[in-house]
Amino acid sequence: MNEPALALRGVSKSFDKPVITNLDLTIEPGQLYALLGPNGAGKTTTLRMVVGLSEPDRGRIGIYGIDTRRDPLAAKAITAWLPDEPMLYDKLSPSEYLGFVAGLWKIPPEEAAPEAERLLRWLELWDVRDTRCEGFSRGMKQKVALAGALIHKPRLLILDEPLTGLDATMARSVKDALRAQVDAGATVIVTTHILEVAERLADRIGIIAGGTLHAEGTLDELRAMAGEENATLEDTFIRLTSPA
Amino acid sequence: MMTRIIERLPAGSLGWLVAHELRLATRGGKATTRVRIVRYILLAAFLIAGILTAVALANVPIRPDATFDAGLLVAAIAATSLMTTQAMIGTQQTLYERGDLDLLFSSPVAPRTILRAKLLAIAATVMLTFGALSLPFVLPIAIVGHPRLLGFVATLIGLALIAACIGLALALAIAKAAGPRAARTVGQIAAGLLGGGFFILSQAIGRHSNESGFEAVFRWVQASGWADSWWGLLPGRASFGDPLAILILLGGGILLFALTGAAFQRLFQSGFHDAGKHMTRRTVSKKGIGRQFRASLFTSIFMKEWRLLIRDPALAFRIVLRLVYLIPLTIVLTKNNDVPIAPGAAFFSVLVTGQLVGSFTWLAISAEDSPDLLTVAPVEKSTVEWVKLASALAMAAPLALILPIVIATETVAGALVTLVMTAIAGTLAGFIELKLSKPASRKTFARRRSGSLAAGILTMLVTFVFGGIAGVLVFVLL
């Protein structure tokens, strides 16, 4: 039996007030899953717990069957995290950054170097591979960070607002990159405020509000839940997240 | 309080903008209750010390004389060089960290008003820094029995204004001369040089005598006759309430402020525009990409830390400057006591290497630019930290070898002892940083001790103890 790419069971997290409450979420492998929700709904908190940047107060998180609390390193080895603010070093060039990330993920140099070249060419960063990132635009930095996230060929790729601040061309290339990952067998989870992206790109959509999963399914299933067959995702989202 | 002042001033006026700047400057980061209590205790102790000094001096006649004038002139020169450095750094922060300049320049407020508001804010910050150190003593002394010393406040304002104008002019001139690409680095190095300039000069002047650097400069100023010139007398006379001296110093400061506002408006605007350009040299190496990929975690982390250090010349310069400041400790220990060079060199080697490893460890661990990347990587946090400590030791190692080689010409055993003590002190200094320091940005390197005072004190203690042991052992082995 296939293990889910991500399984959250009864996950709760509080800061000064409860942010996530008893969250159950299952994401099957090989999907592009969009996690939507109003501001402060707990999307980023959920994902930060998944990648190990924060500990849940209660509950279990499994990545491809690996319990993130029991074996965090094994879970991290197959996961990549791309936040909205790229985790970069301004004084390093893209090739040096990829070298560093490959070192952290212990990818043998003979595997990492050709993969880095492929990613840099694919993301149109090859000509600036030895230029320091400090002068790059936000979109270019986001692409370098994406290359860093992909260098170790993660089975689960998690992106928080990956299209924020990108122009149309950059946004298209990032969307293509995500779809290519899914086509290659990986699972991709994105949070986004741009509902059109989720509508066009996502295989399944989860809507979080007030720290719990309000609705989950394909776009058609969500429309059915909202009771409007031909509604846009925006209408569906507003209907499902508005207080009754 | 500042918000009420802002509400009463005409919006967009110079006063309104200055009040806005001061409101921002006085809203520091959140401090924990413990930190706040320690601050209040220190402040109370400082105020009590000032009041006790004032009571003790209440009936002691304090009059300006030749010695006082020379002393105050030296103090004024030292303070002005430090104030100018602070003003240069303030200008650079205004330009390069941008803050609200984008908003201000896009508003219908005259650029000259913006520049003057920023300049006044820089002067106020400089004045507050030096005022906080001196006024708790000077004001009680003035109030209790020496009212003429209230002139010191005017001196402080005058010097702060002059220093702010010189600092701004220097920072803008350097930015113009160095060009947009190198402006920031050259400016930071120049500020560091100016800040350390008085200190280095005093050491150079005093290197052949048994006096401290300050004493040597004092004698030098006395011998030069500067303290008897009309301008040399100004700080002393103004501090003792001479109305003409106050008028010249304070009026000069205000005049310079007005002239700077008018003369540097264009340069300030062009500096602001240049600061927005992120100019990076576009390079493509002919060597293959494979050279960037290493098999070991240590090499990957070491290379990253090394590159981040050498690609930040201003930071590297600050580290070197910190080490230069340690020279007098060794001079004091060797100059007055007929101690041979080798023990002093052993002490200095351990002291410097320990501090260096502490600095490198702080940069690698506390000032990590992407802590989240390391957290999500499949490597234990403790492993990363130990590898970073090892990287810091490796980066300091070449410098740690220099003095033991010199010592080896007198005693090989002493050189080995120095190396062992250096290794122990360096490892301990790194370990202290590892355990006690808090996350911070690389650009706060100069103020890193504010993150963890305990780490700073312990590192200094450890390097002193092991440096002392090394010095004594080398002395015995000679």
What pLDDT does A137 receive? 86
Judge whether residue B138 has pLDDT over 70: yes
The reported pTM is: 0.74
pLDDT of A176 over the 90 cut = no
How many Å lie between the alpha carbon of A35 and the closest alpha carbon of chain B? 20
Least-confidence region, from B11-20, B192-201, B246-255, B444-453: B444-453
At residue B69, the pLDDT reads 78
Tell which wins on pLDDT, B258 or B456: B258
Check if the beta carbon of residue A144 is closer than 8 Å to that of residue A94. yes
**Among A80, A95, A128, whose Cβ lies nearest the Cβ of B292?**
A95
Residue-level pLDDT at B207: 59
Contacts of B278 in chain A (CB under 8 A): 134-136
Contact A131 B311 (CB under 8 A): no
pLDDT tens, B1-39? 777 888 888 888 888 888 888 887 777 656 667 777 887
A211 CB within 8 Å of a chain B CB: no
- Chain segment A127-143, per-residue pLDDT in tens: 999 998 988 888 889 88
The residue type found at B338 is: D
Per-residue pLDDT of A181-219, as tens digits, reads 999 999 999 998 778 878 888 999 998 888 888 889 888
Q: Is the pLDDT of residue B95 over 70?
A: yes
* pLDDT number for residue B365: 84
Whether A234 has a pLDDT exceeding 70, the answer reads yes
Q: How confident is the model at residue A119 (pLDDT cuts 50, 70, 90)?
A: very high
pLDDT at B377: 93
Q: Which of B285, B377, B379 sits opposite A130 (nearest CB)?
A: B285
A139-172: pLDDT as tens digits: 889 889 999 999 999 999 999 988 876 778 878 8
Supply the ipTM of this predicted assembly: 0.85
- How high is the pLDDT of residue A222? 83
Q: Which of B96, B306, B370 has the highest number of chain A CBs within 10 A, making it the mutation to test binding with A?
A: B370
Quote the percentage of chain B above a pLDDT of 70.
Answer: 86
Residue A29: pLDDT band with limits 50, 70, 90: very high
**pLDDT band at B339; cut points 50, 70, 90:** low
CB atoms B294 and A103 under 8 Å: yes
Render pLDDT for B48-70 as a digit per residue (tens, 0 to 9). Answer: 998 998 888 888 887 777 777 78
User: How many Å lie between the alpha carbon of B387 and the closest alpha carbon of chain A?
Assistant: 12
CB A162 within 8 A of CB A142: yes
State pLDDT tens for residues A51-93. 999 899 999 999 999 999 999 999 999 999 999 888 899 889 9
B316 touches chain A (CB under 8 A): no
Q: Using CB atoms and an 8 Å cut-off, which of residues 293-312 of chain B contact chain A?
A: 293-297, 299-301, 303-304, 307-308, 311-312
Residues above pLDDT 90, as percent of chain B: 15
Confidence of residue B448 (pLDDT cuts 50, 70, 90): low
| Lowest-confidence segment of A5-19, B113-127, B211-225, B273-287 by average pLDDT | B273-287
Q: Which residue has the higher pLDDT, B376 or B324?
A: B376
How confident is residue A49, by pLDDT bands cut at 50, 70 and 90?
very high
DSSP 3-state of A14: strand
Model pLDDT, residue B350: 92
Residue A50 predicted with pLDDT over 90:
yes
Contact criterion met (CB below 8 Å) for A197 and A168 = no
Residue with tokens 């700077």: B260
Q: pLDDT, tens digit, for every residue of B364-419?
A: 888 888 889 999 999 998 999 899 999 989 988 888 888 888 888 888 999 999 99
- Written in H, E and C, the secondary structure of chain B is CHHHHHHHCCCCCHHHHHHHHHHHHCCCCCCCHHHHHHHHHHHHHHHHHHHHHHHHCCCCCCCCCHHHHHHHHHHHHHHHHHHHHHHHHHHHHHHHCCCCHHHHHCCCCCHHHHHHHHHHHHHHHHHHHHHHHHHHHHHHHHHHCCHHHHHHHHHHHHHHHHHHHHHHHHHHHHHHHHHHHHHHHHHHHHHHHHHHHHHHHHHHHCCCCCCCHHHHHHHHHHHHCHHHCHHHHHHHHHHCCCHHHHHHHHHHHHHHHHHHHHHCHHHHHHHHHHHCCCCCCCCCCCCCHHHHCCCCHHHHHHHHHHHHHHCCHHHHHHHHHHHHCCHHHHHHHHHCCCCCHHHHHHHHHHHHHHHHHHHHHHHHHHCCCCHHHHHHCCCCHHHHHHHHHHHHHHHHHHHHHHHHHHHHCCCHHHHHHHHHHHHHHHHHHHHHHHHHCCCCCHHHHHHHHHCCHHHHHHHHHHHHHHHHHHHHHHHHHC
Residue B210: the pLDDT is 60
Any idea where the domains of chain B sit in the sequence? 2-278, 297-477
Of A91, A98, A105, the CB nearest to B377: A105
Residue B271 is predicted with a pLDDT of 77
pLDDT at A39: 83
Question: Over chain B, what is the mean pLDDT?
Answer: 82
> What is the structure's pLDDT at A28?
94
